[in-house]
């Protein structure tokens, strides 16, 4: 990257969405600065100005221009720095990748949140729903090592960021991904062996503790 280019990531340390962006930046070998946001206390003016519609992190500022929404940021990174392409080369592969990104964005985080937000019968239904989604993703991967085939790529990045909160879902839902979806668990392990993932993976125990704080804020306990 030319030295006059500047990348600044507006971040929150436990954001599974920011994790996606950090992994994509690491895959491209790009260096960047981080501005940590205090989401529970008060958001910075820069965040409010950069993402006026949602006021959420992550935001990536490229030479001062804001890019928002984590999947959209990862698309931008892949298009702007095309070496080590993350999306497949053929248009059919790219269309499948976009389909699964959309599915993951619509389903996974919300289904996980339903687990930590519920109790009793609702909790059981939320847990079953979450496991069902993982099984669909497992089915999409088939016998391949990664979503796109043999190579770690775009869909892997979009999903692996979210898995940093899965330990919390397991604890509050009383299930084990390894038991319910062993192929999915093996895929997580495989991804975590990659440098870009290992260096940016949120400590699952700390994510679990943070979800505990959210549960108190939402009066779940």
Ligand X SMILES: N[C@@H](CCC(=O)N[C@@H](CS)C(=O)NCC(=O)O)C(=O)O
Q: How far is the CB of 168 from ligand X (least distance, A)?
A: 13
What is the rounded CA–CA span in Å between residue 221 and residue 217?
9
Phi, psi of 146 (to 5 degrees): -135, 170
Q: Binding of ligand X at residue 34 (CB under 6 A)?
A: no
Give CA separation, 1 vs 4, 81, 86, 154, in Å. 8, 8, 17, 21
Q: How far is the CB of 152 from ligand X (least distance, A)?
A: 20
- Note whether 159 and 137 are within 8 A (CB): yes
Q: Binding of ligand X at residue 56 (CB under 6 A)?
A: yes
Q: Which is nearer to ligand X, 105 or 180 (CB)?
A: 105
Q: How far is the CB of 3 from ligand X (least distance, A)?
A: 28
Pairing of strands 7-11, 33-36: parallel
Q: Which is nearer to ligand X, 181 or 208 (CB)?
A: 208
* Packing angle of the helix pair 120-141, 166-173 (nearest 10 deg): 140
**DSSP H helical segments within 82-119, as ranges?**
91-117
Q: Binding of ligand X at residue 39 (CB under 6 A)?
A: yes
Q: Binding of ligand X at residue 1 (CB under 6 A)?
A: no
* Packing angle of the helix pair 154-162, 91-117 (nearest 10 deg): 10
x/- letters, 65..104, toward ligand X (CB under 6 A) = ----xxx---------------------------------
The residue sitting closest to ligand X, measured at its beta carbon, is 56
Residues found near ligand X in the complex (CB under 6 A): 12, 15, 17, 39, 55-58, 69-71
């Amino acid at each position: 990257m030319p030295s006059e280019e500047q990348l600044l990531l507006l971040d929150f340390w436990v954001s599974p969405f920011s994790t996606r962006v950090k992994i994509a930046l690491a895959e491209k070998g790009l260096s960047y600065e981080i501005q940590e946001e205090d989401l529970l206390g008060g958001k910075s003016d820069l965040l409010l100005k950069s993402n006026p519609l949602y006021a959420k992190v992550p935001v990536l500022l490229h030479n001062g221009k804001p890019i928002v929404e984590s999947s959209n940021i990862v698309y931008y990174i892949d298009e702007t720095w095309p070496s080590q392409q993350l999306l497949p080369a053929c248009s059919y592969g790219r269309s499948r990748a976009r389909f699964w990104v959309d599915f993951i964005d619509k389903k996974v985080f919300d289904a996980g949140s339903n687990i930590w937000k519920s109790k009793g019968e609702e909790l059981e239904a939320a847990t079953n729903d979450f496991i069902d989604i993982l099984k669909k993703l497992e089915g999409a991967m088939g016998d391949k090592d990664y979503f796109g085939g043999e190579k770690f790529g775009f869909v892997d990045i979009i999903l692996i960021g979210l898995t940093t909160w899965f330990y919390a879902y397991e604890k509050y839902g009383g299930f084990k991904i390894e038991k319910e979806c062993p192929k999915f668990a093996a895929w997580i392990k495989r991804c975590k062996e990659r440098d870009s993932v290992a260096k940016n993976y949120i400590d699952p125990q700390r994510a679990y503790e943070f979800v505990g704080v959210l549960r108190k804020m939402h009066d779940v306990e």
